[in-house]
Amino acid sequence: MKETEDNKYRQQALDYHSEGRPGKIEVVPTKPYATQYDLSLAYSPGVAAPCIEIARDPELSYTYTAKSNLVAVISNGTAVLGLGNIGADAAKPVMEGKSMLFKTFADLDSFDIEVATTDPDAFVETVKNIAPTFGGINLEDIKAPECFEIERRLRDELSIPVMHDDQHGTAVITSAALINALHLTGKRLDAIRIVVNGAGAAAIACVRLFVALGVRREQIVLCDSRGVVSVRREDLNPLKREFATELPFTTLSEAIRDADVFLGVSKAGALSAEMVRTMAPDPLIMALANPIPEIDYTEARTARPDAIVCTGRSDMPNQVNNVLGFPYIFRGALDVRARTINDEMKLAAARSIAELARTPVPDEVLAAYDLPALEFGREYLIPKALDRRLLWTVSPAVAQAAVETGVARQPMPEGYADALRERML
């Protein structure tokens, strides 16, 4: 029966992508084009005027072109969520979907770009060469450890926001969940112990942002497929070595005992109910493996009724979904023409997402999810993805952080939050 349902869903997904105009995005003009005079302004000879102005001052490309509202979604398809290394061509539907989310949630235009290379040097060179087109670059689904080098080099060599969302988007949303879990339980950031199962790109980014948030580095234990990432191991790459623990653990089951937080960015079934029962009181469990988490939501709550449980699934409470972050982080960064996306901007996003969940939920959000009520608590820890208030809550926080840290080229627009609200009405 389930196989029949899966086949039906697969066919519906194929029909969705192929019927009518194939794919999920298109390009539409934003200026009049009905008359000969319109076309003379849009192209020859009128287009020469903005070209001359931009040649004189490249910053004017933000004034005379779509650059200020344009993000590139770029991937080589080497680490597509749930599918692995499927290549650039097969990654395109995912990148088109990401572009659609940018437009839907933050009114940011986006081109998806699939780069057919696994060589970091070639990838970086390609992105650098096309960067003048864009106001920001969202890297996506690039495997570790290459993704770290690629992002670092592009951030160092370009003066527009660059973010690998698989790393930092996950870090921002898990940080928001952590903030609110501690708000509920009364625990302190500098007193909790965190166990992370998985030591790839997302795991390292999450741990780095947790430390920036105030978690003590020595209270974090990473585990990979070989067990605890420990200073006693000699098989660690530099990224894992950065967070190698001195604590006397060798296995996940040892490390999880009395831990306050479990973050899973690994594989289905990695966390057992027996392990959950050994955790500290009021544990936070973020089991984010997709589509099947490290432990099922119901199984975790049954094992520990006092647990706060998050997964990556939309059919369970507390979905950790990167769409809560990336559209609004880029929106805020582009609107002050930020040169980069720094930790302060990411922390501002996490804190504003957490704060929004603690406010009354509008009727339109309840209607979108067919819910009679939602109230901040163990089953509503972070906002729902369709909460439009994220745009005028998170983006101003990110923009303000960019201004305060000196990476913005221009000040926060006057009445910015109100303008964003009106933009999406």
Catalytic residues: 43, 98
What's the CA angle centered on 131, arms 31 and 103, to 5 degrees?
50
Element of type H or E holding 243: none
- Helices 389-404 and 416-423: angle between axes, nearest 10 degrees: 150
CA 68 – CA 88 distance, rounded (Å): 27
User: What distances in angstroms separate CA 96 from CA 69, 92, 113, 315, 338, one per listed residue?
Assistant: 17, 6, 9, 23, 25
Task: Answer for the pair 154, 127: CB distance below 8 angstroms, yes or no.
Answer: yes
What's the CA angle centered on 60, arms 59 and 63, to 5 degrees?
125
Instruction: Tell me the chain's radius of gyration from C-alpha atoms.
Output: 22
Task: Answer for the pair 99, 112: CB distance below 8 angstroms, yes or no.
Answer: yes
State the pairing for strand pair 220-224/194-197.
Answer: parallel
Element of type H or E holding 395: helix 389-404
- Joined together, the tokens standing for residue 43 give 């192209």
Cα-based torsion angle of the residue sequence 349, 355, 361, 364 in order, rounded to the nearest 10 degrees? -20
